Amino acid sequence: MTSPTKRGGTGAVHRPRLSRAGRRRLAGVAMTTPALAMIMLFFFVPLVMMLWMSLHNWPLLGEHRFIGLRNYRDALHDTEFHTAVIFTVKYTLITTPVLFVLGLALALLVRRRHRGARFFQAVYFLPVVVGLASAAFLWLFMFQSDIGPAGDLADHLGLGSRATNWFAGSTSAMLVVISMVTWKVVGLQMLLLLTGLLSIPTDVEEAARIDGASRRQTFRHVVLPLLRPTLALVLVFSVAGSLLAFDQFYVMTGGGPSNSTITAVYEIYRTSFIRFQLGYGSALSALLMIVLAVVSAMQLLLLRSADH
Amino acid sequence: MRTRRTTAAGALLTSVVLLATACGGSDTASSRSDTSGSGSDTITMWARDTQKGFINLVADAWNKGHDTKVKVTLVPQANFVQKFGTAAASGSGPDVASIDLVFLPYFASTGVLDDITELENKLPYKDGLSAAHRRLATYNGRTYALPFTAEASVLFYNKDLFRKAGLDPDKPPKNYAEIISSAKKIRALGKDTYGYAIAGQCGGCNVFEFTPHIWASGGDVITADGKKALFDTPEVTDALTFYRKLYTDGSMPAQSKTDTGTNQPALFQSGKLGMTPLGAFFVQVLNKDDKVDFGVAPLPGKNGGSASFAGGDEIAVTKNAKNKAQAQEFVKWATGEQAQTVLADNGVVPVRTDLLDKIYIPLDPRYKVLAEAMEKGRTPYSTVENALFNDSNGPWVNMINRAVFDGDIAKAQEEGQKAAQTIIDDAP
């Protein structure tokens, strides 16, 4: 309440200072404008367009017409989309803990300030810089029956034969994809968790030790709670990434066997670009976006409120 | 301090500009600049990257004799329909497009192609053009494209393996039972040798290679008007049972279930596969390899007979073509003897049945079977062909995959029929 008069007062006395503040503000606007413009152009404009399209019967070619919320009503009864959503949830529920536990374990391993730790940190991180599609093709080849080295290895270890088709069963196909994703993504999770771990002051842990806490107790009651903000970040990243999975399945399983590995985004792709129903595809995208927002918000809330 | 700030702002701005231009520099902008540069002396043309081997030779042949030049842009096969569809919808498409004939009813129905009925009627060799292509290019009685390249599905068989298995390499199998027994004998030759392979998770492959069996047995997969799916007919049951038997006999490799179309030809090229259904393009691939002694035979029905899928491309002038007169001239020329000879010389089946004996059949002893297969080739007519058949997760592939590899043929057919009919009924 008092600030306007106060500001006006100071302004009247120190005129040059205000103009400097004004200049600063102007510079701030100038600096943020490009970013804002990009967000407008590449996020908000497409978002509004998508929502607008989702209210239409909008084929790839030809006339579109307004149909209100019919696309959304159809989506609620779309069994193919339901199957895809259920598969996506299943995939997320398996991938997230695997990535998280492995990422944390690796972070704890490379946490020490040895030169060896640095080396392994780099090794674990390397797959992250490979593109997801390239990684998928690499693994697709490795697990190809008759020609892939994974079959050879399984043969030598007595785990299976060279002719085993890993992609022929829906469970084994999903497991191969999850292995690939783990190999590819766990390094990033490790790095994020590592920065979280390193930001915990060593004196806190030392104090706990001096108080007689065992290693496990220190980890559970000191390290984990202090790591919470990082955990929230990592979990939100990982869950969102899994819910949006597409490339790995498109490349490695092609949705097979018998359409058992079609994710939600895959189904949106098929709706839009194979059946050419852009309007309906937009509606499915909007629904997915809402789910994603809710899930992320819930995670952040849960992890924050658990603080007290 | 201030200089650093301005530098930072400048750097940011530069990066924004760079990013924007980089984004705009992708296909749409480049194609747009192509068309804008066309004015009067360029015809822009889009083709699939799988046509790379010959499409530029065709363009060169035209460019040599004409002032208006053709400029070809290759688009990846897997997303040609999407790219062409979006470009046509936004008015940034090419003047001419070479389109897989199965998509013609769809594109014609959406009004992105120019009506060239008059042009076709004036062609003296109109009736010599592939009948299947002409049928697919017709929508509501008008013509929207001319036949350009042809393709036919036939049975490839390895003559060496036939000899080793005690089969006559000059007498390829003529019905389901003969294929099954030959495949079994070839499979018995060794651990790594297989009798028959399919691409169980590839839409384009399965419409091309499996439907002929049904046609040859007197059935069909969709009614002539495209309004009703026929997935649950007895002829389809027989054909599925035939594939299923090949699988349960062990004649088919495990890969076939999830093959998206890459393993099947590779296995035949390696000389370890007895038989596989593929197209004319594969003759050239094998000839280049010069490793496998192979023969081609028509794809048979249950008790004999034969049929083939007429594939290939049609060539169309787009509605928004900047250079319509020249584009029409080029499209007409593409069906002429000069262009068709370039195709034949490069292993592509010409669409001119009146020229087959002259420019195609003499080139390879196996081309006669292919030419005959093309002449009686058929193609399902539907504006939703992509969603029904070519979609690798669509009802056609899904039905085949589940029936052949999981075994419940009746249920797979019933669900396939239901899914297919829904797609047809939901079509705009």
Is B216 in contact with B301 (CB distance < 8 Å)? yes
Nearest-CB residue to A274 (from B12, B255, B386): B386
Residue A144 within a domain: yes
Any chain B CB within 8 A of the CB of A158?
Answer: no
CB–CB of A38 and B16 under 8 A? yes
Is residue A43 domain-resident? Answer: no
Interchain CB distance below 8 Å, A61 and B405: no
Half-sphere exposure of B59 (CA within 13 A, CB side): 22
So what's the pLDDT on residue B97?
Answer: 96
pLDDT digits (tens, 9 = 90+) for A269-290: 999 888 888 999 999 999 999 9
Q: Which of A128-132, A224-228, B97-101 has the lowest mean pLDDT?
A: A224-228
Q: What is the pLDDT of residue A62?
A: 78
pLDDT bracket for residue A159 (50, 70, 90): confident
In a domain, A87, yes or no: yes
Distance from chain centroid for Cα B236: 21
**Do A17 and A140 share a structural domain?**
no
Q: Is A160 on the interface with B (CB under 8 A)?
A: no
Single-letter amino acid code for the residue at B363 = L
Q: Which of A60, A78, A266 to mutate to test the interface with B (most CBs of B within 10 A)?
A: A60
Superfamily of domain B17-151+311-375 in the CATH hierarchy: Periplasmic binding protein-like II (3.40.190.10)
Cite the DSSP H helix spans in B66-158.
Answer: 80-89, 104-109, 117-121, 131-136
Report CB contact under 8 Å: B88, A61.
yes
Please list every residue in chain B whose beta carbon sits closer than 8 Å to the beta carbon of residue A164.
254
A142 at interface of B, judged by CB pairs closer than 8 A: no
Rounded (10°) angle between helices A228-243 and A170-198: 150
**A148 pLDDT higher than 90:** no
In DSSP notation, chain A reads: --HHHHHHHHHHH-HHHHHHHHHHHHHHHHHHHHHHHHHIIIIIHHHHHHHHHTTEE-BSSS--EE-TTHHHHHHHT-HHHHHHHHHHHHHHHHHHHHHHHHHHHHHHHTTS--HHHHHHHHHHHGGGGS-HHHHHHHHHHHT-TTT-HHHHHHHHHTSS-TT--TTSSHHHHHHHHHHHHHHHHHHHHHHHHHHHHHTS-HHHHHHHHHTT--HHHHIIIIIHHHTHHHHHHHHHHHHHHHHT--HHHHHHTTT-STTTT--HHHHHHHHHHTS-BHHHHHHHHHHHHHHHHHHHHHHHHHHHHTT-
Question: What is the pLDDT at residue B114?
Answer: 94
| A121 in any annotated domain | yes
Q: Closest Cα partner for A176 from A153, A200, A144, A199?
A: A144
Full residue range of the structural domain in which residue A13 is found:
3-38
Does residue A38 belong to the interface with chain B, where contact is any CB pair within 8 Å? Answer: yes
Nearest residue of B to residue A38, measured between CA atoms: B16
| A84-96 confidence digits (pLDDT tens) | 999 999 999 999 9
Cβ separation of B428 and A259 shorter than 8 Å?
Answer: no
- SS (HEC) of B149-172: EEEEEEEEEEHHHHHHCCCCCCCC
What gap in Å lies between CA B285 and CA A32, rounded to an integer? 57
Q: What percent of chain A stands above pLDDT 90?
A: 54
Q: Assign residue A166 the CATH number of its domain.
A: 1.10.3720.10
Question: Rounded to the nearest 5°, which phi and psi values hold at A162?
Answer: -65, -30
Which residue carries 């480049």 as its tokens? B30
Contact across the interface for B257 and A254, Cβ inside 8 Å: no
Please report which confidence band the pLDDT of residue A16 belongs to, taking 50, 70 and 90 as the band edges.
low
**Closest approach of A165 to chain B, Cα-based (Å):** 6
Residue A305 pLDDT class (50, 70, 90 cuts): low
How many residue pairs from chains A and B have C-beta atoms closer than 8 A? 100
- Quote the pLDDT of residue B4: 46
Is A16 in the same domain as A155? no
Q: Do B9 and A61 touch (CB under 8 A)?
A: no
Residue A60 lies in a domain: no
How close A34 gets to chain B, by Cα (Å)?
Answer: 7
Give B16→chain A minimum CA distance, Å: 7
Question: Residues A240, A118: one domain?
Answer: yes
Residue A17 is predicted with a pLDDT of 57
Residues 46-105 of A with CB under 8 A from B: 57, 59-62
Q: Which amino acid would we find at residue B428?
A: P
- pLDDT of res. A116: 84
Q: What is the mean pLDDT of residues A99-118?
A: 89
Burial of A181 (C-beta count, 10 Å sphere; 0-12/13-18/19+): buried
Q: Does A129 touch chain B (CB under 8 A)?
A: no
Greater model confidence, A127 or A16: A127
Main-chain dihedrals φ then ψ at residue A78, nearest 5 degrees: -85, 105
Same structural domain for residues A156 and A294?
yes
Question: Per the structure, how many domains does chain A have?
Answer: 2
Instruction: For residue A148, give the chain B residue with the closest CA.
Output: B255
**Chain B interface includes A260 (CB < 8 A):** no
To probe the interface with B, which of A25, A36, A38, A61 has the most B CB atoms within 10 Å? A61
Partners of residue A276 in chain B, C-beta under 8 Å: 85, 106, 386
pLDDT of residue A306: 56
Residue A59 inside a domain? The answer is no
Could B89 and A164 be called an inter-chain contact, meaning their C-beta atoms sit closer than 8 Å? no
Residue A215, domain member (yes or no): yes
Q: Are residues A87 and A235 in the same domain?
A: yes
Q: What is the pLDDT along chain B (428 residues), one digit of tens a residue?
A: 344 444 444 444 444 444 433 333 333 333 333 444 444 579 999 999 888 889 999 999 999 999 999 999 999 987 888 889 888 877 888 999 999 999 999 999 988 999 999 999 999 999 999 999 999 999 999 999 999 999 999 999 999 999 999 999 999 999 999 999 999 999 999 888 999 999 999 998 999 999 999 999 999 999 998 999 999 999 999 999 999 999 999 999 988 999 988 889 999 999 999 999 999 889 988 998 899 999 999 999 999 999 999 999 999 999 989 889 999 999 999 999 999 999 999 989 999 999 999 999 999 889 999 999 999 899 999 999 989 999 889 999 999 999 999 999 999 999 999 999 999 998 86
Same domain, A7 and A94: no
Does A140 lie in the same domain as A247? yes
For residue B96, the Cα-to-chain-centroid distance in whole angstroms is 18
Q: Minimal Cα distance from A145: which residue of B?
A: B255
Q: Where in chain B is the domain with CATH 3.40.190.10?
A: 17-151+311-375, 152-309+381-426
Domain membership of residue A174 (yes or no) is yes
Q: With contacts defined as CB-CB under 8 Å, which chain B residues touch A255? A: 392-393
For B152-309+381-426, the fitting CATH number among 3.30.9.10, 1.10.10.10, 3.40.190.10, 3.40.50.170 is 3.40.190.10
Q: Which of A20-29, A152-161, A257-266 has the lowest mean pLDDT?
A: A152-161
Q: Which among A62, A255, A262 has the least Cβ separation from residue B428?
A: A62
Whether A11 and A158 map to the same domain: the answer is no
Please name the residues in contact with B254: beta carbons below 8 A apart, sequence gap of 6 or more: A145, A163, A164, A165, A168
Nearest residue, CB atoms, A257 vs list B16, B109, B257: B257
